Amino acid sequence: MPSPDLYNGSEKMKLNKNYILRTVAGSDVVVAVGEEANKLRGMITLNETGAFIWRCLEQELDIDQTVEKMKQEYTGVDDERLRKEIGIFLDKLREQGILQD
């Protein structure tokens, strides 16, 4: 299990283009297309924070920028906790092959 603090703040994260996040009926769902559709037949549901981080990745923000954006959205949460949460989420995406190296 990689530790969340392996992520460097200025590291650029790239989402695999074959995964799409959409809000459908109030749920943030991720579905796969193309070759990835064989790996993810159904869908993944993201929670609010996950969807927020995903949308930062879509805008090609690095971790420092994502943390800044989250601080505006979720006031009163410290940097360290945000970095940890982002790290855990990125680890999950990487495990699924959704983040491209």
Q: Which residues are at the interface with other proteins (CB under 8 A)? A: 17-18, 20, 22-27, 29, 31, 33-34, 37, 42-43, 45
Q: Which is nearer to other proteins, 17 or 81 (CB)?
A: 17
Q: Which is nearer to other proteins, 55 or 69 (CB)?
A: 55
Shortest approach of other proteins to residue 79 CB, angstroms?
32
Shortest approach of other proteins to residue 24 CB, angstroms?
5
Rg, the chain, Cα only = 13
